[in-house]
Chains A and B, each alone.
Chain A
Amino acid sequence: MLYINCPHCGMRSQNEFSYGGDASVKRPKLNKEVSDQEWDNFVYNRKSLRGKHLELWQHISGCRQWIKVERDTATHEIFRTFKADEEVA
């Protein structure tokens, strides 16, 4: 079970969180013309990365904040966590 450092609450076990997928996905702006390809990429197409992955988690049984977690998908090592509005350098 992962041990995740919620930037709002501190170290908490994985069972307090729910997974939210790739954090690098950007939703196209509202009312913007988007091609089929662009929309498909946003809705469906995800890279299945091996290695460092920036992903979203929600601290669903805690502060209910969505956070960003930088995790290695192969080793499960967590390098850093960020608040939703924090810039990831």
Chain B
Amino acid sequence: MTQAFRIENEGLINRDKKLSFKFNGKTYFGYEGDTLASALLANGVHLVGRSFKYHRPRGFFGAGVDEPYAVVQLYRNGETEPNIKATEQELFEGLEAKSVNCWPSVNFDIGAINNFLKIFLPAGFYYKTFMWPKSFWYRIYEPFIRKAAGLGVASTKHDKERYEHKYEYCDLLIAGSGPSGLAGAYAAAKNGAKVILAEDKPRFGGSLLTSDVNIGNQSGKDWAEGIIAELKTMPNVVVKNRSQIFGYYDHNMLVMSEKVSDHLPSTKKYHPNKRLWYIRAKEVLISSGSIERPIVFGNNDTPGVMLSSAAKEYLKVYGVLVGRKPLVFTNNDSGYETAIEFKKHGVDPVVLDSRKNPESEIIDEAKNLGINIKNSYVVVAAQGYKKVKSADIASISEDKKQLGKIENIKCDCICVSGFWTPTIHLASQSGNKTKFKEEIDAFVPGQSKQNEITLGAANGVFSLEETLKTSFTAGSKLSKNITENNNEIAIPNVVEKKSSQHDKFWCVPLPKGKNYKRFLDFQNDVAVSDVEIALREGYRSIEHVKRYTTLGMATDQGKTSNLNGLQLVSEIENKIVPAVGHTTFRPPYTPISIGAIVGREVGKNSKPTRKSPMHSWHEKNNAIFVDAGVWLRPRYYKRGNENLFEGSKREAKNVRTNVGVCDVTTLGKIDIKGPDAAELLNRVYTNAWLKLPVGKARYGVMLREDGIVMDDGTTTRISENHYHMTTTTAQAANVLSHLEYYLQIVWPELNVNVVSTTEQWAGAAIAGPKSRDLLQKLFPNSDVSNEGLPFMGYMEGDLFGVKARIFRISFSGELAYEVNVESDYGNFMWEKIMEVGKEFNIQPYGTEALSTLRIEMGHVAGSELDGRTIPYDNALEGLVSKKKDFIGKRSLQRSAFTAEDRQRVVGVVPLDKKTSIPEGSHLVKDDKAALPNPKLGHISASCWSVEYDNPFSLAILKDGKNMIGQKLFAMSPLKNKVIPVEIVSSHYVDPKGERVRS
């Protein structure tokens, strides 16, 4: 197939490299350097999609990031991505794309019946129509909206691509590589500043690529190429194309998305797809240029109507004619530049200028070329459905209220220019309060808020000479302040054509008896009439009008529509535009793929994985692991075909009858040293600590200042001024911060140091009636008898040549010990325990058995210490000192905490002794009561008691103290279960705690 609209000898594409691609299943050809949009236009394809609301045919409106229409579904290397702008997607061999938002096809779209039946969906339609009845939502409204809406489909597959994050620092960050960005970068680089120059397009140069100007006796394009080539050789400069700075955050932190691989058929090995840069810049130069704005007229959304600057870019950069019979509709001189380019390539345009008698060098050139110019003329409406076929045009009165006689003129495209809108998004995101500039009818940045300066067209300056002058000067000055170098740069001579004042005209009135749709927002199908309705219905704030009509809320964020919307509101409201104000600009400037934002933090990389030194032993011995915070812990050690229930029951039973060993390395450990260490503990824990002797451990509970239990654990006095604190696995980091806070901020007079030693010690809990016999064999030279090492005792021992700490503490309720060695010896210790323990029938046990053992003993843990309970609730009030003060004590006097019927931990047994109670079940008095059934408490933890061989749970129950013996119901709507239960003591096994002391 020939590229019928491609012309010879023009454009920056590589004609030596022909590429094939598919659009909606049909094969086309383009060239390297094309975008999908330019390649389709070269093939005469103008119909690319259907509009969001009315399913009207959609073509191309722009040539870059501002594109509201040409959003496609892209297929690349076996993956698919929605929301891709055809005007930004570079062509590669084998590219495939499809239209979105049309069914069954872009040429015949059923949704477009909405359009013909005139069921136009006016502003607020969704709010008004889909309100009631509620039952209609799922059956009728939602399917309808879902079918009608949507701009593509996200892939549900795992994304094979890799995305990277990068942190960077620089002296000067420059957003945009047009004349302003190049000049600023060059001057700063010459002063030795560290410069990052970012360009969102593949090619550097911005407007210089398409404008007919001369800088230092070179064409603008050649000058830009020279500057870029020199910048690339400088070691203090990073030059990045395909890189969009999309967010300006606090303290001069900007974020940039670099498309590393999107222009290639597949991502190169070891390359990311995209790279997100977090850049902390000392100074920011915003040279983001400007976007042409449309003039609003009837059917201005017809394919073939596009921005005049886009038509020029397709011609100058891609060698593509967007039409052979162009009509240019303008209110300023830019339209003439496009007309001149057409004319130079043998195409005869007609120019309609809303101005009566404009004069300038550019217009003179157009006249000299013999271009047909009609002054005081406007396009009233485009005609044609899937493509512009002609235009209704008319003369217009000087006050722009009266249209002359309607004439019809044949054309195949309408290039429209309503002057220029500075791209002020980044400046506005930085906190800069923008101001309205009357001369250009647009907002420009005001007083700088952060270290940012906006120059060139982005600052409303459209003269190249002035732009270059201010940008060279700014680049020199900003860098001089940082590097203290001052290399003078000669500002090159500029030749450009002077232009005349634009016409303050933006919307063509409707002719009598016609009701053309005149669109403001092309992506969200918001027409002039919608804004009129919103204002008629009483919406005044521009933020409310925006939300009611959805003006500017599409993925293009209203880059081509916001200002015209403001003009309309100001006209109807009879307010000046600055009084109406613009809506807030928020990052991202343009859609950024979720993958880039997430970066490498996916799957197993979303958090660190911590493993104990014994991890590989667990692996070799069929451990089934469970995530415990960031740790991987054995849940049980699978034997044969055992499931979790069978395996954990076997392990727990073996602890109760023989001896088991559990990896407790994950417990938080904090080393506490200093003469005031005991005083610190005494203030942090609820119980007394001043008299704990050396060589003894004590269980302690710590509160937050609000009286809620924060954590529990044992702390051991290793020597006079040295303590070893353990915390729960989950709270380890918080407890350390908590201690540091009190030592540094509240009681700096305490002479204590704390440091985390969690990773320095490997821990093994040895539990069961035979644990002492085993311990004696492990430490033959130590006296570990009940007298030598009593309950809550501590000693150091020699484990086959390795120094070990031995604590006689128990979580399982059995006679138990905890042995710690330095982490590097963890595996050695574990293997010795298993080897020596063989004769005592030792078995390793995992977290599931650990839970079972503690639950049936009534030991509270994380599921009871859940950030909502006080010591009393956990039956720990015996550990609360009445004599001394401690963190959170005063809060325990609160009336709710001292209430007679305060909640308290209890045991729960199902009446049938068979049905396990799901954790989280609610306890209620009456299972038949009307909803919401009053909740008396909840099941915090459940297990299968190995002691009694029936289910047992712990619960936090209102007035738990007086509920023992009561019969209630445990209800779990989630599991659809109602279980009659009896409330019993939480200490189900060994209530007197005799075993641990045996």
Contacts and interface: CB of A to CB of B under 8 A. Distances in A.
Given A58-B737, A65-B744, A43 B706 contact: yes
Interface string A39-53: 100111000000000
Contact of A34 (B251, B252, B890): B890
Contacts of A3: 250-253, 280
B856 to A, nearest CB: 36
Contacts of A76: 250-251
A30 interface: yes
A13 B278 CA distance: 11
Nearest to A68: B745
Nearest to A33: B890
A78 B251 CA distance: 9
Given A34-B890, A43-B705, A20 B741 contact: yes
Contact of B740 (A28, A31, A58): A58
Contacts of B884: 31
Contact of B741 (A28, A66, A85): A66
B737 A18 contact: yes
B358 interface: no
A89 B176 CA distance: 44
B268 to A, nearest CB: 30
Contact of A1 (B249, B431, B737, B748): B249
Contacts of A43: 705-706, 891
Contacts of A65: 744
Interface residues of A, number: 26
A32 to B, nearest CB: 8
A84 B737 contact: no
Contacts of A9: none
A78 B252 CA distance: 13
A58 B741 contact: yes
B222 interface: no
Interface string B660-696: 0000000000000000000000010000000000000
Number of contact residues on B: which range applies? 20 to 34
Interface in B866-880: none
Contacts of B431: 75
A62 to B, nearest CB: 13
Contacts of A39: 890-891
Interface string B958-990: 000000000000000000000000000000000
Interface of A is mostly: loop
Interface string B728-758: 0000000001001100111010000000000
B885 interface: yes
Given A2-B251, A30-B683, A64-B740, A85 B748 contact: yes
B429 to A, nearest CB: 13
Contacts of A1: 249-251, 253, 278
Contacts of B741: 20, 56, 58, 66
Contacts, number: 54
Interface in B677-728: 683, 705-706
Contacts of A75: 431, 449
A13 B280 contact: yes
Contacts of B167: 13
Contacts of A30: 683, 885
A25 B536 CA distance: 51
Given A39-B890, A66-B744, A60 B737 contact: yes
A44 B431 CA distance: 32
B883 to A, nearest CB: 10
Given A1-B250, A18-B737, A75-B431, A84 B748 contact: yes
B885 A31 contact: yes
Contacts of B705: 27, 42-43
A43 B251 CA distance: 32
B745 A66 contact: yes
A31 B881 CA distance: 13
B173 to A, nearest CB: 14
B353 to A, nearest CB: 46
A28 B251 CA distance: 36
A75 B433 CA distance: 12
Nearest to B754: A64
B387 to A, nearest CB: 48
Nearest to B733: A60
Nearest to A42: B705
Residue from B251, B746, B885, B891 whose CB has the most chain A CB atoms within 10 Å: B251
B33 to A, nearest CB: 37
Given A34-B890, A76-B251, A66 B740 contact: yes
Nearest to A20: B741
A21 to B, nearest CB: 10
A84 B745 contact: yes
Contacts of A58: 737, 740-741
Residue from B431, B705, B890, B891 whose CB has the most chain A CB atoms within 10 Å: B890
Nearest to A4: B251
A6 B744 CA distance: 15
B699 to A, nearest CB: 22
A22 to B, nearest CB: 12
Contact of B250 (A2, A28, A34, A85): A2
A74 to B, nearest CB: 10
A79 B744 CA distance: 22
A87 to B, nearest CB: 13
A64 B733 CA distance: 11
A18 B706 CA distance: 20
A30 B705 CA distance: 12
Interface in B409-462: 431, 449
Interface in A58-74: 58, 60, 64-66
A78 B253 CA distance: 14
Contacts of B706: 43-44
A35 to B, nearest CB: 10
Contacts of B683: 30
B248 to A, nearest CB: 12
A34 B891 CA distance: 11
A59 to B, nearest CB: 10
Nearest to A56: B745
Contacts of A31: 884-885
B209 to A, nearest CB: 34
A75 B250 CA distance: 9
Given A1-B278, A58-B737, A75-B431, A84 B891 contact: no
Interface in B886-901: 890-891
A65 B736 CA distance: 12
Nearest to A34: B890
A2 B280 CA distance: 10
A44 B744 CA distance: 21
B986 to A, nearest CB: 29
A42 B278 CA distance: 39
A65 to B, nearest CB: 7
A27 B746 contact: yes
B493 to A, nearest CB: 41
B251 to A, nearest CB: 4
Contacts of A13: 167, 253, 280
A18 B736 CA distance: 13
Nearest to A29: B885
A11 to B, nearest CB: 9
Nearest to A1: B253
A13 B748 CA distance: 27
Contacts of A28: 890
Contacts of B280: 3, 13
A1 B500 CA distance: 44
A17 B251 CA distance: 15
11 contacts: A28-B890, A30-B683, A34-B890, A39-B890, A56-B745, A64-B740, A66-B741, A66-B744, A75-B449, A78-B251, A85-B748
Interface of B: 167, 249-253, 278, 280, 431, 449, 683, 705-706, 737, 740-741, 744-746, 748, 884-885, 890-891
Given A58-B741, A85-B744, 5 more contacts: A3-B250, A13-B280, A30-B885, A31-B885, A34-B890
Pick the 5 closest A-B CB pairs, nearest first.
Answer: A3-B251, A30-B885, A66-B744, A76-B250, A84-B744
